[in-house]
Structure 1
Amino acid sequence: MIPPRFPVTPEQIDRVVAVFYAAVRRHEVLGPVFGNHVTDWPAHEEKIARFWKNAILYERNYGGNPMQVHLAAGDVRAAHFAPWLALFDETLRRTLPAETAAAWSTLAHRIGAGLRMGVEDLRERRPGPFILR
């Protein structure tokens, strides 16, 4: 059995996901974007909790493709990831011990950067040469 990336329980993951998506639904920018696609919030939250349990606890019960989902949505923009991560960080700080929140935040920012770059490069690319960052 692979040890978790950092100490967190499945119940803590479920709590973070629930608190986060309650905040997303109220968010002036993110709420409408999610509202365009999520019709069953409990099912969505359960799926995202499985994603995090896989990423952190190495449970093998998530088989989705987040990049594909974000690209297929059509209205997810690279600019949405900064407020998403800020809201997620706030949720982590409010619901978890500081060390666990910091570790999860680092992982979320790494995943978020990859998704943001994918959305930007694959959908929002402007004509011209590649810009190296």
Structure 2
Amino acid sequence: MLARFDITPEQIDRVVAVFYAAVRRHEILGPVFAAHVTDWSEHEAKIARFWKRAILYQPGYDGNPMRAHLMAGDVMASHFPHWLALFDETLRRTLKPEQAERWSALAHRIGRGLRMGIEDARPDMAAGPPILR
């Protein structure tokens, strides 16, 4: 089966590594991930397998992203715009424009699905604290 777009497994590994280095420094996402990820190498390898399956159709990933995000318990729908903005920045910094654009579109589709799943499963945590104006 042909890949969704032209990218190598090594480029996927690089994007994942650069992205999670940025996540660890991020003021909102960093603490959420730090509460759940104990082995960053293992986590990055698993997420790289996820993207290699999603983009290159390679076997090796057998997880359930929706379940993982729901089981974390503290992942909120409001985290996804931060995640996507940081991911887009990483893509732009590490890939050619067409690769970054194609991967970004896929990430946004996946992110929308995860965000909606969080909102449906935990409406009380979906949007964060109410804005009283």
Give the number of equivalent residue pairs.
125
Superposed CA RMSD = 1.0
**Where in structure 2 are the equivalents of 1:58-97 lying within 5 Å?**
58-97=57-96
Give the Cα separation in 2 of the matches to 1:124 and 1:116: 11
Q: What is aligned with 2:51?
A: 52
Deviation at 1:125, TM superposition (A): 5.4
Matched residue SS, 2:78:
helix
- Residue identity over aligned pairs, in percent, reads 72
String of CA shifts for 1:67-123, please: whole Å, max 9, x gaps: 000000000000000000000000000000000000000000000000000001111
Amino acid corresponding to residue 113 of structure 1 in structure 2: R
Give the Cα separation in 2 of the matches to 1:125 and 1:97: 40
Unaligned 5+ runs, structure 1: 127-133
Give the Cα separation in 2 of the matches to 1:52 and 1:125: 30
Unaligned 5+ runs, structure 2: 126-133
Give the Cα separation in 1 of the matches to 2:81 and 2:62: 25
Deviation at 1:40, TM superposition (A): 0.1
Give the Cα separation in 1 of the matches to 2:60 and 2:105: 22
Give the Cα separation in 2 of the matches to 1:23 and 1:120: 25
Give the Cα separation in 1 of the matches to 2:37 and 2:124: 26
TM-score (norm 2): 0.92
Give the Cα separation in 1 of the matches to 2:123 and 2:73: 10
Amino acid corresponding to residue 73 of structure 1 in structure 2: A
Matched residue SS, 1:78:
coil
Q: What is aligned with 2:130?
A: none
Q: What is aligned with 1:115?
A: 114
Amino acid corresponding to residue 22 of structure 2 in structure 1: A
Give the Cα separation in 1 of the matches to 2:60 and 2:124: 33
Give the Cα separation in 2 of the matches to 1:125 and 1:76: 12
